[in-house]
Chain A
Amino acid sequence: MEAENTISEKLIQLPQKRFYRQRAHSNPLAHHTFDYPACPAENYWDSVYPDRRNRKVRILDIGCGYGGLLIQLAKHFPNDLLCGLEIRVKVSDYVKDRIKALQHNAKVEKASDSEDFSNLGCIRTNAMKHLPNFFEKGQLTTIFFLFPDPHFKEKKHKWRIVSDTLLSEYAYLLQPEGRIYTNTDVEDLHLWMVDCLTNHPLFERIPDEDLKDDTCFKTMFEATEEGKKVTRNEGSKWPAVFRRLPNPE
């Protein structure tokens, strides 16, 4: 019996990225093998968050990559669930393994309820197609689009994660006064996203100056792997934050 206790109290090594490398681009219009519920259901979330404690997913990181942002934000939102969506198989597996290791290590080190990473989860899915399967109308407070794939060619613009038609879906999932945070090192993409969001009747820009004390705004610059890469290469970043307006009558 003593031997068993020692095994479960050992810290797990965090997964190593080199075994989970995958190329950056994935075709969002193809028919991949995904698991998703037919419609939003409470009991589905218990499988993603083993220690859910009746919390709901409020913060979404669409294209969460290797999970950097989620891990930095977890302690700031202990009463909400944070969810990362990632279409790439290996990368989503990395994030799931990383979250599991962090949760285990937090338990071993007897971390407090607000710092136990129990509010983190990652789902492998195509956010452009399947968001309504997971989330209810007005469920979310925040959506992040950090360093999305620019899809430079004009015929590939339909693959971009922010577009006129998709914004209506994101607006459906966000509660009024909910927010969309975007950041990218590609100025062309930044202008495109700002253009789409500004022209959409349900979104209004929040000037950067008004966000100086906003946790999400401060965290999104350095928390992600992509963000760190851009800083290393001394590139520029263009953030833009928008609020979701109430529906017109």
Chain B
Amino acid sequence: MAPGLVVLKDGNVVVWSGSKVVKIDLNTKAISTSKDFEGLVNDVIELNEKFLVSHDKTVSIVKKLSLEFIASFDVPRRPSKLCMVERKCYIADKSGDVYLVEIPDAEKLSIVTDPKTMKPVLGHISLIMDTFVSDKFIYTAEQDEKIKVSSRKHPFIIDHYLLGHTEFVSKIVVDENNSSLFSCGGDGTVRSWKNGKAEKVKEHDEETVCHSLVLSNDRLQYATVSFEENKESFIRTVFKRDLADYHTWKLASGSVPIASTAKANGDGVYWLIENEKSLQLFLTKDKEQELVLDNIAESSWKEDHWKVLRKAMEKSDNYDAYLKLREEGFKKARGSRKNKRKIMEPVADDAKKVAAT
């Protein structure tokens, strides 16, 4: 879907952009780039000494150190998010379904799936924008504003919905120890939920989209991106208990925050920032920020992603035109039938003449 990044257990960072996966060694600042994957890379997750990379309609398993290909399996539609719990891989896709594929613990892996007959464990009628799987629940956030919480043991049992967003939900962060969940979305709000009920709402300007929500210690960090031309983007930190502001960074004009991930030891957040030329890696810690690495990869986003998503969501029916017609009492409908009769008559006469001869 977009460039993204993830922090590994050893503290290093993996970035994906376009068709490539880039490993960054933070000590030496060395970058190692993989070969091109088929299609755009959507998500990368860590599994012991391997990576699972979802690209196009495939999930590839590669070696962590060398990024060498091990195995791959196909899925029916483009995945938007992967979630790993024990050895079970949950694959959420762009048409709204979530599939479960078990990854065996073996040196020589071979996983065979049949995309034509695979059945989802649960589904939405809408693009799934974010997923999280815990021991108890499967959380799925969709483009049609809903967050669905289903039982993990029996995914056909929906436990509850978290409703309140008025535009697509872009990211959710689950804090199960505190029965809490945080979400943000295209309506420019960041919301906190507790015990299945809405708690606090933090609003921003109209025409703003919030995304890339991250929980770090007791604070939440996210990005705000505006649809208005030449309006700057922000990275903001708020307290998770009441969503009150802690600190805000304004990004330089032309820079767009793309994705974020919390640092492994919970102390700071890595950000992938796109400027006109390429992707940069920033680290925010408390109220400080530093540029860790520049020119990591070419950015594949020549256009503003959020504008594209917003445009795709524009309503496309003729409801207003129909309402107008209705107000005029369907007069047009009656009128056009009368006209049709006039046009018909001469043809009927000709037909009679032809029949007679």
Q: Quick one: closest A residue to B153, CB to CB?
A: A248
Instruction: Give chain B residues whose Cβ lies under 8 Å from the Cβ of A80.
Output: none
Asked if B123 and A164 make an inter-chain contact with CB atoms under 8 angstroms apart, the answer reads yes
Q: Kindly state the separation between the CA atoms of A34 and B198 in the bound complex, as whole angstroms.
A: 23
Tell me if A31 is interfacial: C-beta within 8 Å of chain B: yes
Instruction: Give chain B residues whose Cβ lies under 8 Å from the Cβ of A38.
Output: 145, 163-166
| A-side interface mostly | helix
**Which of B146, B158, B316 has a CB less than 8 Å from the CB of A168?**
B158
Q: Kindly state the separation between the CA atoms of A89 and B95 in the bound complex, as whole angstroms.
A: 25
Asked if A39 and B125 make an inter-chain contact with CB atoms under 8 angstroms apart, the answer reads no
Instruction: Give chain B residues whose Cβ lies under 8 Å from the Cβ of A247.
Output: 154, 157
Tell me if A33 is interfacial: C-beta within 8 Å of chain B: yes
Asked if B313 and A31 make an inter-chain contact with CB atoms under 8 angstroms apart, the answer reads yes
Instruction: Give chain B residues whose Cβ lies under 8 Å from the Cβ of A89.
Output: 317, 319, 322
Please provide the chain A residues from 129 to 148 with a CB less than 8 Å away from any CB of chain B in the complex.
129-130, 132-133, 137
Please provide the chain A residues from 224 to 241 with a CB less than 8 Å away from any CB of chain B in the complex.
none
Q: Quick one: closest A residue to B155, CB to CB?
A: A168
Instruction: Give chain B residues whose Cβ lies under 8 Å from the Cβ of A165.
Output: 96-97, 120, 122-125
Q: Quick one: closest A residue to B333, CB to CB?
A: A19
Tell me if B150 is interfacial: C-beta within 8 Å of chain A: yes
Q: Kindly state the separation between the CA atoms of A243 and B55 in the bound complex, as whole angstroms.
A: 41
Q: Quick one: closest B residue to A167, CB to CB?
A: B156
**Chain B count of residues within 8 A CB distance of the other chain:** 37
Instruction: Give chain B residues whose Cβ lies under 8 Å from the Cβ of A129.
Output: 125-126, 144
Q: Quick one: closest B residue to A200, CB to CB?
A: B156
Tell me if B314 is interfacial: C-beta within 8 Å of chain A: yes
Q: Kindly state the separation between the CA atoms of A39 and B165 in the bound complex, as whole angstroms.
A: 9
CB distance from A137 to the nearest CB of B (A): 7
Known A-B contacts A38-B163, A165-B123; A33 and B158 likewise in contact (beta carbons under 8 Å): no
Asked if A128 and B157 make an inter-chain contact with CB atoms under 8 angstroms apart, the answer reads no
Tell me if B137 is interfacial: C-beta within 8 Å of chain A: no
Tell me if B326 is interfacial: C-beta within 8 Å of chain A: yes
Please provide the chain A residues from 95 to 152 with a CB less than 8 Å away from any CB of chain B in the complex.
128-130, 132-133, 137
Point out residues on A near B: beta carbons under 8 Å: 18-19, 28-33, 38-40, 89-90, 93, 128-130, 132-133, 137, 158, 163-169, 171-172, 200-202, 247-248
Instruction: Give chain A residues whose Cβ lies under 8 Å from the Cβ of B353.
Output: none
Known A-B contacts A31-B314, A93-B326, A165-B120; A132 and B156 likewise in contact (beta carbons under 8 Å): no
**Which of B122, B155, B160 has a CB less than 8 Å from the CB of A137?**
B160
Q: Kindly state the separation between the CA atoms of A141 and B318 in the bound complex, as whole angstroms.
A: 35
Q: Kindly state the separation between the CA atoms of A128 and B7 in the bound complex, as whole angstroms.
A: 37
**Which of A29, A30, A90, A171 has a CB less than 8 Å from the CB of B156?**
A171
Please provide the chain B residues from 148 to 191 with a CB less than 8 Å away from any CB of chain A in the complex.
150, 154-158, 160-161, 163-166
Q: Kindly state the separation between the CA atoms of A164 and B97 in the bound complex, as whole angstroms.
A: 11
Q: Kindly state the separation between the CA atoms of A229 and B129 in the bound complex, as whole angstroms.
A: 43
Please provide the chain B residues from 301 to 340 with a CB less than 8 Å away from any CB of chain A in the complex.
313-317, 319-320, 322, 326, 330, 333
Tell me if B119 is interfacial: C-beta within 8 Å of chain A: yes
Asked if B315 and A33 make an inter-chain contact with CB atoms under 8 angstroms apart, the answer reads yes
Instruction: Give chain A residues whose Cβ lies under 8 Å from the Cβ of B319.
Output: 32-33, 89
Asked if A201 and B156 make an inter-chain contact with CB atoms under 8 angstroms apart, the answer reads yes
Q: Quick one: closest B residue to A19, CB to CB?
A: B330
Q: Quick one: closest B residue to A128, CB to CB?
A: B125
Q: Kindly state the separation between the CA atoms of A169 and B158 in the bound complex, as whole angstroms.
A: 7
Q: Kindly state the separation between the CA atoms of A181 and B37 in the bound complex, as whole angstroms.
A: 48
Instruction: Give chain B residues whose Cβ lies under 8 Å from the Cβ of A30.
Output: 316-317
Known A-B contacts A19-B330, A19-B333; A248 and B154 likewise in contact (beta carbons under 8 Å): yes
CB distance from A17 to the nearest CB of B (A): 12
Q: Quick one: closest B residue to A158, CB to CB?
A: B95
Q: Kindly state the separation between the CA atoms of A171 and B157 in the bound complex, as whole angstroms.
A: 8
Asked if A202 and B333 make an inter-chain contact with CB atoms under 8 angstroms apart, the answer reads no
Instruction: Give chain B residues whose Cβ lies under 8 Å from the Cβ of A167.
Output: 156
Q: Kindly state the separation between the CA atoms of A29 and B125 in the bound complex, as whole angstroms.
A: 7
Q: List 8 A-B contacts (CB under 8 A).
A: A31-B313, A32-B319, A38-B164, A89-B319, A168-B156, A171-B157, A171-B158, A172-B157
Q: Quick one: closest B residue to A132, CB to CB?
A: B161
Q: Kindly state the separation between the CA atoms of A39 and B196 in the bound complex, as whole angstroms.
A: 13
Q: Residue among A38, A93, A247 with the most chain B CB within 10 A?
A: A38
Asked if B315 and A31 make an inter-chain contact with CB atoms under 8 angstroms apart, the answer reads yes
Instruction: Give chain A residues whose Cβ lies under 8 Å from the Cβ of B322.
Output: 89-90
**Which of B96, B154, B164, B320 has a CB less than 8 Å from the CB of A39?**
B164
Q: A39-B163, A130-B144, A172-B157 are in contact. List 14 more A-B contacts (CB 8 A).
A: A18-B333, A30-B316, A31-B314, A32-B316, A32-B319, A33-B320, A39-B164, A132-B163, A158-B125, A168-B122, A168-B155, A168-B156, A171-B157, A248-B154
Q: Quick one: closest B residue to A201, CB to CB?
A: B156
